[in-house]
Structure 1
Amino acid sequence: MKDLTALATQYTAAWCSQNAARVAGHAAEHGSLTINGGTPAVGRAAIAESAQSFMTAFPDLVVTMDSLSVHDDKTIYAWTLTGTHTGPGGTGRRVRISGHEEWTFDTDGLIVHSLGFFDAADYQRQLHS
């Protein structure tokens, strides 16, 4: 397994790069990303598409790593996203949301499952108030 701190630092940089393929490159070929219990994005192409939707909505998106911890077989990556909603149909509002992802890895050190969570009501409030 790769050094988790290095992996999380690279993952954070991938989100800040506006390159969705870099985000997806941290996932196993058939890995999944599920956000707030929604429909999973399965496979690197779907994960890249999910990441791209945030990158398009927030062209100035910045993700920071707040903490990283291991609990049993899960790694908890806590993050904060800031950005201005200026993509297509954007509100022009600046948001700051925090959340976390629960990762499980394969033997190659790639993310097999990522379960992401953030306060969707607070996110919507920031976008529209």
Structure 2
Amino acid sequence: MINTQAVLQMAADYTAAWNSKSAEAVASFYAHDGEIIINNGDPWTGRSRVQDMASGFYADVPDLTLKCDDVRCAGSHVIFVWTFTGHDAASGNPLSVRGWEEWEVGEDLKVKNSRGWFDAEDYGRQADG
């Protein structure tokens, strides 16, 4: 059983990592062999690939700011609900995207598996203006 207060602190620290603009800091929250799959896409497996995923978001939204909207825990399963804002790098258009990640975490509070979700069509519409 995972300590709920520890998970809440982890979520706050994870949010701060995203807001630091350090892809390495984001990846540090994952187990060495942890993975994330976004919108049923291809998996990003291992910390270096998670770092690549975060770097891609920073390239697309250089001024990305993440806000934690909610955290839910059940055993080793965590739901991290978020909103990110910023501007699309190509168009300069403002973005406000809501989504969530479903985490399976180890006893060390490192993410073993994450399934991320957001409305990609809405994101595209906002980016295009």
CA distances 1:28-76 after superposition (whole Å, capped 9, x unpaired):
0000011000001000000000001111221111000000002454200
Under a length normalisation based on structure 2, what TM-score does the superposition of the two structures give?
0.93
Q: Matches of 1:43 and 1:6 in 2, distance apart? A: 23
Tell me the SS of whatever aligns to 1:50. helix
Partner of 2:65: 62
Counterparts of 1:26-45 in structure 2, within 5 Å, are 26-45=29-48
Tell me the SS of whatever aligns to 1:122. helix
The runs of 5 or more residues in structure 1 that have no matched partner are none
How many residues in Structure 1 have an aligned counterpart in Structure 2?
Answer: 126
Q: Matches of 2:79 and 2:51 in 1, distance apart? A: 21
CA distances 1:74-126 after superposition (whole Å, capped 9, x unpaired):
2000000001112xxx1111100000000001222100001000011100110
Under a length normalisation based on structure 1, what TM-score does the superposition of the two structures give?
0.93
Tell me the SS of whatever aligns to 2:109. coil
Partner of 2:54: 51
Q: Calculate percent identity across the aligned residue pairs.
A: 35
Partner of 1:120: 120
Partner of 1:105: 105
The runs of 5 or more residues in structure 2 that have no matched partner are none
Kept in 1, the 8 Å contact 2:33–2:112? The answer is yes
The CA RMSD over aligned residues, in Å, is: 1.2
Q: Matches of 2:48 and 2:59 in 1, distance apart? A: 16
Which of 13, 16, 19 does residue 10 from structure 1 map onto?
13
Q: Matches of 1:67 and 1:117 in 2, distance apart? A: 14
Q: Matches of 2:80 and 2:108 in 1, distance apart? A: 19
Tell me the SS of whatever aligns to 1:59. coil
Tell me the SS of whatever aligns to 2:12. helix
Q: Greater CA deviation, 71-80 or 23-32?
A: 71-80
